[in-house]
A and B are shown apart, each in its own frame.
Chain A
Amino acid sequence: MTHDPGCEKCEELLQDFLDRTLDDEQHAQAEKHLDGCDYCRRRYRFEQTLRRYVRISASERMPAGLLQKLAELADQAPRTP
């Protein structure tokens, strides 16, 4: 745990920083802190890795055969009013 107020602020900015939704001033503030702080830099990188890992882990391909079923639904629905 850290009690550095700079780190606390950096923790608050983490999600918006990675989502690129900070304004210029806040972005510069976070970057300046990250430049000098290993602790926060590791945690930012960790967050990036985690996001990628969540995306990969939670992505399941569609089952074989579903596409065919959907194409059949297209054939069943009236094509003209």
Chain B
Amino acid sequence: MDEEAEAADARRIATQARNRVRFEEEALGLADQVYRVARRLVRTREEAEELVQETYARAFRSWESYSHGTNMRAWLLRILTNLNLDRGRRIQRSPDLQPLEEGDYYLANKLAAQEGEQALEQERVVERLSQSGVVDALSALPHDFRDVVVLVDIGDFSYADAAQILDVPIGTVMSRLHRGRRLLKQKLAEETLA
């Protein structure tokens, strides 16, 4: 190899090393946000931790397929949801047992019917619905609906990002999100107002 080619090679390696460091820093900086989504897609904390580790192991192996400047959080979540699907770890709910869904005012109307319209005020809502009730209601959703609700409402992903992560059309994201939120309110009504 002549000197010029050697120098070019050294520059290429240096650039790649810098890119790699930048990739690692950015990916590790997103770990908490990735974990928050993972935690609601599987049953236990241990499973969520494992899933995140597998995701990062794969991400570090295939980091060169990430194109800089695109949404890395979505890229990581795409790996994560695919791994979750492969391992059959996602919380299973039989999709054919979907209850008929109520309207969007369902939970509010139930609360108001029991305790009057003032039950809808902010402080009362927080008093009335327990944190664990919300977590249980989320995990009781059929998985197709839960995945979308978790990505958009917990993970703060756009419809477009969620569509890309789950590899479904954006219209599917929207309809699953709408139905999933309605079902969630129904579950909350069942659990907290029984």
Are A73 and B126 closer than 8 Å at their CB atoms?
no
Q: Is the interface of A mostly helix, strand, loop or mixed?
A: helix
The proximity string for A residues 3-36 relative to B, scoring 1 for CB distances below 8 Å and 0 otherwise, is: 0000000011011000001000000000000000
Are A42 and B131 closer than 8 Å at their CB atoms?
no
CA distance A50 to B60 in the complex (A): 37
Q: Is the interface of B mostly helix, strand, loop or mixed?
A: helix
Please tell me if B56 contacts chain A, counting CB pairs below 8 Å: yes
The proximity string for B residues 32-67 relative to A, scoring 1 for CB distances below 8 Å and 0 otherwise, is: 100110011000010001001100110011011000
Interface size class of A (residues with CB under 8 A): 35 or more
Q: Select the stretch in B13-21, B80-88, B93-101 that faces chain A.
A: B13-21
Are B31 and A67 closer than 8 Å at their CB atoms?
yes
Q: Which residues of B contact A21 (CB under 8 A)?
A: 174
- CB-contact partner of B117 in A14, A42, A76, under 8 A: A42
Are B52 and A70 closer than 8 Å at their CB atoms?
yes
Min distance, Cβ A28 to any Cβ of chain B, angstroms: 20
Are A49 and B125 closer than 8 Å at their CB atoms?
yes
Interface residues of A (CB under 8 A from B): 1, 11-12, 14-15, 21, 42-43, 45-47, 49-51, 53-55, 57-63, 66-67, 69-71, 73-74, 76-81
